[in-house]
Structure 1
Amino acid sequence: MAGMCCEVNLAETETSAPVQPTSRSARRRRMEIHQFKFVPTDSAVAPPLDGRGKRKRQRCDAVVPVLPPRECEVAARSCEKLNKLAGEVEPEAKQLRVSASAVATEAEVAPDFPKFGMTSVCGRRRDMEDAVAIHPSFSGLSPNFPSGMHFFGVYDGHGCSHVATKCRDRMHEIVKDELQTGGSSSWERVMCESFSKMDKEVGDCSSGRDSTCCVSACRCELQTPQCDAVGSTAVVAVVTPDKIVVSNCGDSRAVLCRNGVAIPLSVDHKPDRPDELNRIQEAGGRVIFWDGPRVLGVLAMSRAIGDNYLKPFVISEPEVTITERAAEDECLILASDGLWDVVSNDTACGVARMCLQSRNPPSPPRSPGNDMSVTAAGESSDKGCSDASILLTKLALARHSTDNVSVVVVDLRKSP
């Protein structure tokens, strides 16, 4: 019985589990299979037999593939197209190089432009009614005035956006004309005349007296043919090498950051301001508290450009301040009330100062082709101004400002 069991077990073992070859023989068999795969299938001559009646394995030589004539033709046509395209692009590239050299030449002879950053967002309002104007060296090369006079303006429209848009497009041109024709007039007179002319242009456009005034179709024009119930605030700063001239009409604001201290260069024109309240009442108007103090219960500011239906209670005469520049000046902030309603002067100054003075830690040397090198704050202050304006805008939105937010930050630090 035992022998029978052994015999049966041996048979089952032979049929169910054949003996596996050694690792060397298995590797040889795998190599032979790969060799057989490389044998060309279109060979007409069979390999000869060896002495044992088996076919001899032939060595398969590597053959370099040759492109068919059609593929060669396509490749040649592609090369011709590339050469033709290169010939067409070369004149444009040459023109771009000439333009770049011309721009570089102009940059060498042009005066140093101030570094600034600007952000303007709609925020939680349905419509965008703010407008921002930035014109470096706006006075041109007039012999009477230096070319280093730079114009910055923030306009906060109400009722619609077209008054703020017109102020953005025209105010700097009017100021420039007044500077050139006014001769030795004081800054206060120049700015007051400019605001008065701007207000007259807006009034002529709104009443239709100026037929050449072209205002694009907007929401207020679809409601009323004459847009007298539209206006805009205006805070304008003219930065010269030795002065900062700020003209304000409305509740937008200009703040100077000097040695870490916030210095307001304008005062908001609110209807409940004592002197403004007296002026409105002497003109026969009233200030009614309706969700805050408002002129006749309508407008939340006592001075603005436009708003013809509220004259003479709402006037366009600006308040002008002239500040001598100092070595401790760091930056100038112009913004609409969308920022100032929720951010104080000191906080805004601290945020802007932090962005301008921030320095990245030293980094290891980089390859010459890498443009992401770290620079000092003085060399990248334009990015610092942009970061400051963006951060102030985000701060206003985070504090739930319900108005449009427009911020301009100007770097006043003098280059070493």
Structure 2
Amino acid sequence: MSDSNSATSGTGAPEEQVPLVGAISLIGRRSSMEDEISVWPNLCSPYINKHRPIDFFAVYDGHGGPHVAGLCRNRMYLILLEELMMTRTIISGSTSNNDNISRQSRKQLEWERVKEVWKRVLRSCFQRINEMAFVTCYECGIGVPCGCPPHNYGLGGSTAVLAILTEKTIIVANCGDSRAVLCRGGRAMPLSIDHKPDRPEERARIEACGGHVDFDDCARVLGILATSRAIGDKYLKKYIISEPEFTFTKREAEDECLILASDGLWNVISNEEACQVARECLQKEKPSGRGDIFSSPSRAAAALLTRLAMGRGSEDNISVIVVDLKIDYIEV
């Protein structure tokens, strides 16, 4: 469980204002905990964002053991930092000096280049963490060599939904069936689409590779896994890919909160219900100053959503992050 309304740099110096965040991860009715969450306000101020700070949030829902989700929690943000440090792409191109291209067109071209760079960075992050998962031991959760039998490596997997916030944009990268939802003016806007095996394009891809989707309690790849994309899952990798899908959403003054959660929440609560609960919590009086950050409205929203999921009969681990977007919104 965590809540944050301030951050410090690696040297201990105060960083710029960050959003209020409530984050809770519960074992629920499962016998073991396989979910992980990652909350890094003011992660860094990369070149790609013109040296302005970014916030990083992620939910990882493991399967076949907790090790891959734990690996993602411990390493994904570090890999992202490395990739961003190596990214020094010149965003503006030669067309910027062409008098025949309008200022609006130049800004659009620049934005398209920025999006492509972000996609390249995040694809590399997912690829690198996926390769690490292949050599993570199912028994002890560490990489080669650990003395365990070779068949222990690469058995587990994890979903990953990542959100990167800049002062202008919400960037979401998703692989699996965890989900990101934006509450804007009281409306629920999904920022990711679940990778379920019965999603038409996912099923077509799986069958084109020689696989099949079975239907019992739910749609499962080869009758085994209920998500069609994931990090890890070495022995299903022909069918279970780790390629993320992306959304880029311009922030607006009506944006109220961002919800990231594992399917332990979404299996029993709709996008609209989650947004309604969260916005009602966030409309309560905001805490002043540093105060008790554990009683913030965003923390209350995350707690209420997990309790509601339990009350609705969720049988999975439940992880929820609620980001209050009103706190650090800057109109530009």
TM-score, shorter chain, exceeding 0.5: yes
| 1:301 counterpart letter in structure 2 | T
How many Å apart are 1:207 and its aligned residue?
9.3
Higher relative contact order (CA 8 A, sep 6+): 2
- Counterparts of 2:226 and 2:233, CA distance in 1: 12
- Normalized per residue, the structure richer in helix is 1
- SS across alignment from 1:136: strand
Q: Cα gap change, 1:202/1:415 in structure 2, threshold over 3 Å: closer, same or farther?
A: closer
The corresponding residue for 1:48 is none
Q: Is the 8 A contact 2:33 2:317 kept in 1?
A: yes
Aligned residues with identical type, % of pairs:
47
The superposition leaves residues 170-203 of structure 1 with CA deviations (integer Å, 9 ceiling, x where unpaired) of 0011112112213335211211111011101111
Structure 1 residue aligned with 2:125, among 183, 194, 199? 194
Whole-Å separation in 2 of the counterparts to 1:133 and 1:385: 16
Structure-1 separation of matches of 2:46 and 2:227: 38
Residue 400 of structure 1 corresponds to 313
| Alignment-derived partner of residue 243 in structure 1 | 169
**How far did 1:390 drift?**
0.2
Q: Structure 1 residues 213, 166: CA separation in 2 closer, same or farther (over 3 Å shift)? A: farther
Cα contact 1:138–1:147 (8 A) shared by 2: no
Q: Which residue of 1 aligns with 2:280?
A: 354
Distance 1:159 1:329, change over 3 A: same
Q: Which residue of 2 aligns with 1:8?
A: none
Structure 2's unaligned 5+ residue stretches are: 1-7, 90-115
CA RMSD of aligned residues (A): 2.9
Cross-structure match for 2:255: 329
Asked if structure 2 preserves the Cα contact closer than 8 Å seen for 1:116 and 1:382, the reply is: no
Task: Choose 1 or 2 for highest CA Rg.
Answer: 1
Contact 1:232/1:304 (CA < 8 Å) preserved in 2? yes
Q: 1:205 maps to what in 2? A: 136
1:387 aligns with 2:300: yes
Partner of 1:295: 221
| Partners of 1:187 and 1:144 in 2: CA distance | 10
The whole-number CA distance in structure 2 between the counterparts of 1:228 and 1:108 is: 40
Secondary structure of the residue aligned to 1:254 is strand
| Separation in structure 2 between the aligned mates of residue 282 and residue 182 of structure 1, nearest angstrom | 35
Count of residue pairs brought into register by the alignment = 291
User: Secondary structure of 1:236's match?
Assistant: strand
Query: How far apart are residue 107 of structure 1 and its match?
Result: 8.5
SS at match of 2:136: helix
Per-residue CA deviations over 1:155-181 (Å, capped at 9, x if unaligned) read 000010010000000001111211221
Q: 2:67 aligns with which of 152, 162, 177?
A: 162
Q: Give the Cα separation in 2 of the matches to 1:108 and 1:178.
A: 24
- Unmatched 5+ residue regions in structure 1? 1-102, 361-373
Structure number having the greater strand percentage: 2
Please point out which of 16, 34, 49 is paired with 1:111. 16
Amino acid at match of 1:154: V
Change (3 A) 1:382 1:260: farther
2:133–2:154 contact (8 Å) kept in structure 1: no
Residue 17 of structure 2 contacts residue 328 of structure 2 at CA under 8 Å; is this kept in 1? Answer: no
Q: Distance in 1 between matches of 2:246 and 2:216?
A: 30
Change (3 A) 1:140 1:186: closer
The match for 2:39 is 134
